[in-house]
Structure 1
């Protein structure tokens, strides 16, 4: 195992641990000597990892610490790159710009070898000319979902009949050639899925819906049998 891979594994082990890990426990898990383990911990600390503890007491990662981008391995970077390239083509302009900016920020912190790997990656997302353009209200919907706000959809059914739906949106699903808004519908008093291409307009009411989004999603999963894995 290369040293960079070993450092990444050490970070991941500390991040997943539910209680402080002793030096011997970590050394055994990584298959290294105690001396090597302590040297690796010192290296990670100099790179910004907030590792708490000392020999004889145990080590743990401060909750909320994010792994520095340079600690991503090649497969993880390619996964991020593929997702960012897809979002830059399929999402609304604001989210597309955020995807590009995020990859630029990660790239700027990478060592030269990994930066070259990102720049020369063969993982591509084609820009299909017949793909439906992102709906102009997507950014407003994403903000409403984050804020747990009720919205009004100006919607047309499969026969073109218009209606206004007051909903509690909690998700938007991106399919290959379509998008679907998942929400609790006040009119139907049930979970409903609205095709994005049938939404003429969307209005954020600025009013929080009475349940937390996490609870809504769990109810929806229980009722539909869907999984988020």
Structure 2
């Protein structure tokens, strides 16, 4: 295998495998020796890729300064256009604006042939109405997840009972026609699913629950799979 192909496969593995990923796992994925992985990681670092971790612990790709959009295949461009178009139809103005910005940035850096493929993609999305109702507090909830900060919410359950709760927001999940927030409820001291349209008010408390979000979300998802 050519060295350039090997480095590209290593980058792909670092992008897609759950981090931190060990040298042994990377060796299995790319079909080379562990010693080659150590050398190739250093080569990628010298070329500008910011790779965290070390031998015996595992690696994670923090920033890839060498990735260029022209490396996308035609089917990858179709997937990119289709995915971003779907995001723009969700009904969340902030995500719609971000999706349009991403598409513009990608298009601006593509060579002319690939740019034409992106602008005239075969795959299209059209919905006669937004999939989800516009909810003004989604920005705060998203920020709460990112920053791992507790949120104070007003919530109305399916029986119509209104409660005040403090939650640790873990993830926002987009079902077919329903938007939910997976969270740890401090009131009930357990995992809960909150339907976004029933959240009538959100306020950031500034109280951090870092670095628990990833571990809590992993546990909650495992529980949901068992049900």
Q: TM-score range by the shorter chain?
A: 0.7 to 0.9
Structure 1 CA distance for aligned equivalents of residues 200 and 143 of structure 2: 18
Range with bigger deviation, 184-193 or 128-137? 128-137
- Deviations 1:102-147 (Å, cap 9, x if unpaired)? 1110111111111111111122222332644221111111111000
Q: Which residue number in structure 2 is paired with residue 12 of structure 1?
A: 8
Confirm or deny that 1:81 pairs with 2:57. Answer: no
User: Kindly tell me: are residues 13 and 150 of structure 1, through their superposed partners in 2, closer, same or farther at Cα, counting changes over 3 Å?
Assistant: same
Distance in 2 (alpha carbons) for counterparts of 1:92 and 1:108: 25
Query: How many equivalent pairs are there?
Result: 188
**Counterpart contact for 1:92–1:139, Cα < 8 Å:** no
| Residue equivalent to 1:122 | 122
Deviations 1:178-199 (A, max 9, x none): 1000000111111000111111
Question: Which is further off, 124-133 or 150-159?
Answer: 124-133
- Between the aligned partners of 2:150 and 2:209, the Cα distance in structure 1 is 6
The equivalent of 2:223 in structure 1 is: 223
Larger Rg: 1
1:133 counterpart SS class: coil
Deviation of residue 14 (structure 1)?
Answer: 3.3
Q: TM (normalized to structure 2)?
A: 0.72
- The runs of at least 4 consecutive aligned structure 1 residues that moved more than 3 Å come to 6-11, 16-21
Match of 1:157 in 2: 157
Q: Distance in 2 between matches of 1:130 and 1:105?
A: 24
Query: What secondary structure is seen at the aligned counterpart in 1 of 2:136?
Result: coil
Q: Partners of 1:111 and 1:7 in 2: how far apart?
A: 25
* Aligned-residue offset at 1:63: 6.5
CA contact (8 A) 1:144 1:204 kept: yes
Q: Which residue of 2 aligns with 1:172?
A: 172
Is structure 2 residue 113 aligned with structure 1 residue 113?
yes
SS in 1 for 2:203: strand
Listed as ranges, the gaps of 5+ residues in structure 2 are 15-22, 33-43, 50-60
In the TM superposition, 1:12-91 aligns within 5 A as: 12-15=8-11, 16=13, 18=23, 50=48, 64-66=63-65, 67-91=67-91
Partners of 1:95 and 1:139 within 8 A in 2: no
> Aligned partners of 1:63, 1:152: CA distance in 2, in Å?
32
5+ residue gaps, structure 1: 1-5, 27-44, 52-61
Question: Match of 1:64, SS?
Answer: strand
Deviates more, 1:145-154 or 1:207-216: 207-216
Instruction: Show the counterpart of 2:18.
Output: none
Q: What is residue 142 of structure 2 aligned with on the other side?
A: 142
How far is 1:91 from its partner? 4.8
**Larger displacement relative to structure 2 (97-106 or 132-141):** 132-141
- 2:115 and 2:162 map into 1 onto residues whose CA distance is 51
